[in-house]
Structure 1
Amino acid sequence: MLVPAVNPKAARNEPMISISGEAQGTTYHIKYFDSQNRNFKLQIDSILADFDKCLSLYRKDSEIVAFNNGTGSHRFKSAHFYPVLQKSLEIHAATNGAFDPTIMPLTEALGFGAKRTNPELANVDSLLQYVGFEKINFNSDSIFKANTGVRLDMNGIAQGYSVDVVSTYLRSRGIDRFMVEIGGEVVCSGNKNENIPWIAGIEHPLKRGQLFATAKLTDLAMTTAGNYNNHFTRNGRVFNHIINPKTGSMEETSLLSVTVFAKDAMTVDGYDTAFFVMGLEATKEFLSKQNHLEAYLIYTDEEGKISSYVTNGIKDFIREIPNP
């Protein structure tokens, strides 16, 4: 069971440094306590720029774009590619294929990619030949694809890993109390001064910019997935469209928001994507058999009302905010 722990080191009253910036097409915010009052913004910006050179789909010179545009094998240049593939394979296997980074041909064709397309024109059956984790092979040195049409989209997990990378850097500099947030993916280590835990917000899935709940975090990672731009109403209930990588179809889910908690951000980032594909009941069943994941799910019930479900290990640290 995952529960935030009290960190005795948090009793130190040290100055808190706050830095922020842009990376991966989004923003980051980092707070940490350092008796030396050091500012690591330049170093962190450099780390995130190197990360983008590896896994960003928006950089034409990135490694992942080179692999996607290539015809066969690609030898890794960065140390980041392999760990993300390893974790992707782990989550793919655990969720019976609900998480699959080879989904990129489908996400583009069905209008979920960077370019807006008409999903009615998509020939899903022809694209499925390029989708499936078995279409690639990899080891610690390189990756190979069996078909030139196979392409990877790591956006469902890479951002969480970038949070872990920055966290690892801070620890290497002797920082053990911090909050790293990149595009909504969060890792918190230790507590703030006076043993006060870090607080992270969970956005209302139907009201952008408004919080639905908050979570107290100590030595935990948290990510939230919400299909904010693709929900629709049918018979008084709100649904989301989600692409099932196993069938290629756009399916309906009553899940509106999935927040996952674990010890590292890459794990929770991958699982929040998978849970959307799995749906409410399958996710609840899956979570009941896990001891390394906790989750907070927001969904619409049979009466069309917004409801929530929280696992036992995190429920005492979630506070829902009354909304008018």
Structure 2
Amino acid sequence: MPAQRHARRIVHSLHGETMGTTWSARVVAPADMPLHHLQSGIQQCLDRVDDQMSTYKPHSALSRFNTAPAGTWHALPQACFTVLTHALRLASDTGGAYDPTVGPLVNLWGFGPAARPDGTPSDSAIAEALERVGWWKVKLDAANEMAYQPGGSYVDLSSVAKGYAVDLAGTWLDGADIPSWLIEVGGELKGKGMKPDGSPWLIAIEHPDASGQHGRVVSLSGRAIATSGDYRRSYRSGEQTCSHHIDPRSGKPVRHAVASVSILAAQAMIADPLGTSMTVMGPEHGLAYARERDLAVLFLLHGEHGFEERMSPAFAEAMRA
């Protein structure tokens, strides 16, 4: 009997801070298992991503690339190169609706490391920033994991780095023989396995009006979810609400009816930047893109009588799974 009690597994909760936000994890492990090893292991995974890809840290690998002279090649750490490669592929596939070189525009509109401007940027300032934007300008050398700085390119991986960090922490937990877990970093989540009672990890999609209400409930046992919404980061300047979702093609915040977008995918690195992509594309183009690629996408739109749902066939199927 004592041996059976020793083997009993429960859900432990861990949490911490990284990347300017918070993280949490729920892990299924023996009731008497010391947790400091799991806590430090997850923290180290997340901080490694932040140390490589932060635009707020001047000595990160990404910051050094962003300030490098024109016409130079730079070796990147494996994680940073992996994330940049994925980001550039998605930029190509979305026709620039998603673009990791959008950094100059993000900074211009007050959502980067620099101080927020007193008003909205002028057309000339936007045009000047757009001259530095263009995912195709950044070349990659896959064999040597190097990236080419054409001059003035400022890569911002904030829309994909948290998702990659979630995947990385999950892989670390797998290596630590944790059979079931749920990890969240800054709102990006991924789950694996079942809880001790055999039930899946269930997550209620956050409502985009900061009311505390929740929408649909989805299972995350074996997949990730990312939700992107203007309610997370925006500000008002005069009569205009400025969203942190900048359209890299126009240089301005998106101004359509999208309240939030939720993406289900096998990996958080896939789901994370797709939320940004869908928000910039809007519901018509975004859902067409999702249907063509069998992506699980849920839009919540501002309607005349409240929020309206629109989802891709793959998301509807995922809800039934």
Q: Same fold judged by TM-score > 0.5?
A: yes
1:48–1:257: structure 2 CA closer, same or farther, 3 Å change rule?
same
CA distance in 2, matches of 1:316, 1:271: 18
Structure 2 match to 1:128? 130
Computed over aligned residues only, the root mean square deviation of the Cα atoms, in angstroms, reads 2.4
Task: Report the identity percentage.
Answer: 27
Structure 1 match to 2:3? none
Q: CA deviation at 1:246?
A: 1.6
CA distance in 1, matches of 2:76, 2:137: 21
Q: CA deviation at 1:15?
A: 2.4
Whether contact under 8 Å (1:239, 1:256) holds in the other structure is no
Please state whether the residue corresponding to 1:201 is helix, strand or coil: strand
Letter in 1 for 2:19: Q
1:287–1:239: structure 2 CA closer, same or farther, 3 Å change rule?
farther
1:251–1:314: structure 2 CA closer, same or farther, 3 Å change rule?
closer
1:194 to 192, 197, 212: 197
Whether contact under 8 Å (1:239, 1:254) holds in the other structure is no
TM-score by length of 2: 0.86
Whether contact under 8 Å (1:227, 1:241) holds in the other structure is yes
CA distance in 1, matches of 2:267, 2:101: 23
Letter in 1 for 2:49: F
1:105–1:241: structure 2 CA closer, same or farther, 3 Å change rule?
closer
Output one character per residue of 1:88-113: Cα deviation in whole Å (capped at 9) or x when no partner.
12211221111101001011112332
- Name structure 2 gaps, 5 residues minimum: 1-6
Q: CA deviation at 1:318?
A: 5.3
Greater relative CO, 1 or 2 (CA 8 Å, sep 6+)? 1
Q: How does 1:145-184 map to 2 (within 5 A)?
A: 145-147=149-151, 149-184=152-187
Please state whether the residue corresponding to 2:157 is helix, strand or coil: coil
Whether contact under 8 Å (2:111, 2:244) holds in the other structure is no
1:216 to 207, 219, 222: 219
Q: How does 1:285-300 map to 2 (within 5 A)?
A: 285-291=288-294, 293-300=295-302
Letter in 2 for 1:178: W
Residue 14 in structure 1 maps to residue 9 in structure 2: yes
Structure 2 match to 1:6? none
Please state whether the residue corresponding to 1:52 is helix, strand or coil: helix
Structure 2 match to 1:9? none
- Name structure 1 gaps, 5 residues minimum: 1-11, 233-237, 320-324
CA distance in 1, matches of 2:235, 2:282: 14
Q: How does 1:42-53 map to 2 (within 5 A)?
A: 42-53=40-51
CA distance in 2, matches of 1:19, 1:242: 31
Aligned residues: 300
TM-score by length of 1: 0.85
Q: CA deviation at 1:42?
A: 1.2
Structure 2 match to 1:94? 93
